Structure 1
Amino acid sequence: MKKTALLFSILLLLNCTYLLAQTNPETPLYPNGIEKNPISHPNPETVVDSVINPLSLSHKNRVISNISIPTYQLFPASETNNKHIGVVILPGGGFTTNWVDKEGTDLAIWLSGQGINCMVVKYRTNRKDQKGEMIIPMDDYKGAVYQDVRAGILKMKELAKSLKIDSDKIGILGFSAGGWLSGNIAIKSTESKEPVNWKPAFVGLIYYGNTLSNIKKIDNLAALPPVFMAIARDDKKMPMKEIIPGLAAVAAEVNHSELHIYSQGDHGFGLGYDKGHSVSQWKDSFYSWLLDIYNK
């Protein structure tokens, strides 16, 4: 009897581990395709498996390049714990790759467990030549990825009823290059004259700040949605002296915004599994910030 119980426990543990390791199906962001897609690559989409942190919730660490067909993965909250909030997550990767798990599905799994509905967007990527220069002109590339983020927000709004999300509580969060996208989209959405509303309700910037370094030059700063900012003091790619003025201006002048500076973590800390005690708490602060905004 004891052996049977032990075997059952082992099988249950293995099954749970298997389920945790799964990532949800990818769905094309543009179901009808992209007419005259400006982003094409001579090689097919490539997936490289990076080192997996033992604490990773997805049990994966894929780095994807040569992306010309953007997709999304949904991570709904349970019916019994749905906070009716949606987050579109944009992984980083320097515009040439997408770190879809470390900076995407890991956070989505955690947040959905707290009752926050998530979508991870695998947006289109650029590529570099032998000199390290971007091959696809950045103006063309920016236009394409802006459309990907916009499409992600609109798709989340389209799915709001089925996911039981309040359509006015859908925001974006980006890591590094995804943070660059998030910051620019927040600014552009305030300038949009389109009849359809794709303005994010809130913005998360995780180890990114250059987009907002000249924030005071924006005519209507108050039009920005609330911004959550998290960065490590020892970030070698985002020097404190260069980005703090912009981030501090947002924290001071944009309603409900928060700025979190951690003593260690460097660039690319993800969920901060093993980067220090305080930096690993940023996701909890982000979650609590959402609850504060919406008085949950």
Structure 2
Amino acid sequence: MLDRRSALATFVTGLLASGLARGAKAEIQPMTDPTEIIELWPAGPPGAEKVTAVEAIIERGDPKGLRDRALTHTRNPTLVVFRPRTPNGAAVMLIPGGGYERVVLDKEGYETARWLADRGYTCFVLFYRLPGDGWAAGPDAPLQDAQRGLRLIRSRAAAMGFSPERLAIMGFSAGGHVAASLTTRFTAKVYERTDAADDLSARPNLSALVYPVITMDPASMHGGSRKQLLGANPTPERIAFYSPEKQVGADLPPVFLLHAADDKSVPVENSLAMFSALKAKAIPTEMHVFEEGGHGFGLRFVTGKPVAAWPGLFEAFAKRHGV
């Protein structure tokens, strides 16, 4: 099993590197090839007994001709590492979106990781398991991977040249729900201890939620994400439990929120609800709502729009809060 997983990781790395080597046009520059992969679970992820889905990378196409790949049916959760040329002592774990049906690679993963790495951040793109694939943990499978990923990153801080207390997370769309869940449920025991890394805190030092899926409430939900996470007819109790705005405690890290008012996929009310919940608990938070931008803009669909300012706004917020 270990040899097979290692071979799969090597195969995926080759696929990604070959695609990235072709580069991107328009405003996105060619990205650093991902050459370093960290497997989250040395003996395999927990609760795989009933999982039969086959992991695959699909090319979704892009109107500008850029690579737009997605990983489906994640079987072997990993962190893909982007090391900066000049480390600034901080790190970011990026959690791409995909409606809990897939995990996108390029737009919300590698492109953003490269931008951050160019500014000194050591970056880790998380490829997490999906709740509809039959994992025993069900809706907590992505949170298992997020907790484990952050702890592994923290355990390697000294060796990789960043502070374990300057570790941010950045989640997009459904990945924003994973990030918000980690932000609010970092103390939840959702898996059994694997090794010494699991003795470390899973609390991020800062959280960035970018056009995030937050609430499971039908009034503002993203229907596809909720169906994948909770099924067709979740109880009111499960809806509340898996709505991070309902789980905000007093010990959360600072949170940066970003949304476009014209988002037709994930209503802006998701970020508004999270902002209100954070303010009610006096959690340091900053929210930027732009008039236009739609959904899933990442870095590639912002040229000429006010929303193009968002990466710099995040960087300023992170620096103000010591990350």
Q: TM-score, normalised by structure 1?
A: 0.78
C-alpha deviation, 1:151, in angstroms: 1.2
Aligned to 1:288, the other structure's residue is in SS state helix
SS in 2 for 1:235: coil
- State which drifts further: 164-173 or 233-242: 233-242
CA distance in 2, matches of 1:168, 1:106: 25
Deviation of 1:196 (Å) = 3.0
Corresponding residue for 1:210? 214
| Equivalent residue for 1:105, pick from 95, 106, 110 | 110
Matched position secondary structure for 2:212: coil
Which residue number corresponds to residue 83 of structure 1?
88
Structure 2 letter corresponding to 1:228: F
The one-letter amino acid paired with 2:58 is V
The residue number in structure 2 matching 1:129 is none
- The answer to whether structure 1 residue 158 and structure 2 residue 155 are counterparts is yes
1:94 to 2:99 alignment: yes
Matched to 1:206, the amino acid is V
Greater Rg over alpha carbons, structure: 1
Given candidates 41, 59, 82, the residue that maps to 1:49 is 59
Distance 1:217 1:274, change over 3 A: closer
Check if 1:72 corresponds to 2:79.
yes
The residue that corresponds to 2:275 in the other structure is 247
SS at match of 1:224: coil
Query: Which one of the candidate residues 258, 261, 273 is aligned to 1:230?
Result: 258
Structure 1 pair 107/36, CA: closer, same or farther in 2 (3 Å)?
A: same
Cα offsets for 1:106-153 (capped at 9, x unmatched) = 100000000111100111124xxxxxxx4637x732222111101110
TM-score where L is the length of structure 2? 0.72
The 1:190–1:212 alpha-carbon spacing in structure 2 relative to 1, beyond 3 Å, is farther
Which AA in structure 2 matches 1:201?
N
Give CA-to-partner distance per residue, 1:209-253, whole Å, 9 cap, x none. Answer: 5249877754x7331110010000011133335652432342565
Which amino acid letter does the alignment assign opposite residue 38 of structure 2?
T
Q: 1:192–1:223: structure 2 CA closer, same or farther, 3 Å change rule?
A: farther
SS in 2 for 1:223: coil
**1:63, 1:72 → 2: CA distance?**
15
1:34 aligns with 45
Instruction: Show structure 1 runs of 5+ residues with no match.
Output: 1-14, 127-133
The more displaced of 277-286 and 240-249 is: 240-249
- For structure 2, the 5+ residue unaligned runs are 1-20, 191-197, 218-242
1:225 maps to a residue whose letter is: P
The answer for the alignment partner of 2:229 in structure 1 is none
Alpha-carbon distance in structure 2 between the residues aligned to 1:136 and 1:116? 35
Give the match for residue 259 of structure 1: 287
Instruction: Indicate if the aligned counterparts of 1:38 and 1:144 stay in contact, CA closer than 8 A.
Output: no
Paired residues, what number? Answer: 266
Alignment RMSD, CA only?
Answer: 3.1
